[in-house]
């Protein structure tokens, strides 16, 4: 079988152009949208890595969960210089949290829970939230019903007897 050098060169050039186009983005290469920088000017300092999903760059960051009020989630974002900045994200779309392979609700997390999340570079919102920590969801058991209404009925009868005695005394004087 005879090899054509021209075909080999063309294949090599094609392969090199595909690998050049598929190079991974670095944190320094991210072009932040002005809206993101207005909400979080230090966003580039919290970047751990850039992940491409569906042809769009997403920035991976690390944070601690602080709490949720309505549809606003507070996260303490870890920056690369050691600072931790609290930022509030508004949950416009339902964002699922994957903790140790299981989907959990925001309200099941405890304050200080370590998580990794991704935000798109063109808007300030949570795109994906993951964690390796296990979240224990404790079901609250209903307490047994040991009380009855009879002590209340007795107290009401006793108080009515007291009112009747007071009214009798006021009428006689």
pLDDT tens digits for 48-81?
988 888 888 888 889 998 988 888 889 999 998 8
Percent of the chain with pLDDT over 90: 16
Distances (CA, A) of 154 to 84, 118, 148, 150, 157: 59, 62, 11, 6, 5
Provide the token pair at 120.
């798109």
Give SS3 for 103.
strand
User: How many whole angstroms separate alpha carbon 154 and alpha carbon 48?
Assistant: 68
Low-confidence ranges of the chain (pLDDT < 70): 1-24, 132-141, 143
Q: Would you say 134 and 100 are in contact if contact means Cβ atoms under 8 Å apart?
A: yes
What confidence tens digit (pLDDT) does each residue in 109-119 have?
A: 888 888 888 88
User: How many whole angstroms separate alpha carbon 30 and alpha carbon 99?
Assistant: 27
User: How many whole angstroms separate alpha carbon 140 and alpha carbon 163?
Assistant: 43
Q: Phi-psi bin for 168: left (phi > 0), alpha (psi -120 to 50), beta?
A: alpha
So what's the pLDDT on residue 22? 47
So what's the pLDDT on residue 136? 58
- Global pTM reads 0.60
């Amino acid at each position: 079988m005879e090899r054509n050098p021209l075909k080999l060169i063309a294949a090599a050039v094609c392969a090199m152009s595909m690998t050049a186009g598929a190079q991974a983005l670095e944190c320094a290469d991210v072009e932040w949208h002005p809206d993101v920088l207005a909400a979080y000017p230090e966003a580039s300092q919290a970047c751990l890595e850039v992940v491409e999903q569906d042809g769009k760059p997403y920035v991976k960051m690390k944070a601690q969960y602080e709490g949720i009020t309505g549809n606003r989630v507070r996260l303490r974002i870890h920056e690369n210089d050691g600072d931790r900045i609290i930022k509030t994200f508004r949950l416009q779309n339902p964002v699922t949290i994957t903790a140790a392979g299981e989907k959990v609700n925001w309200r099941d997390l405890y304050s200080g829970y370590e998580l990794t999340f991704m935000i798109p570079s063109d808007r300030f919102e949570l795109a994906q939230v993951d964690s390796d920590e296990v979240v224990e969801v404790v079901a609250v058991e209903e307490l047994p019903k040991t009380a009855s209404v009879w002590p209340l009925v007795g107290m009401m009868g006793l108080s009515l007897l007291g009112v009747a005695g007071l009214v009798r005394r006021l009428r006689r004087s």
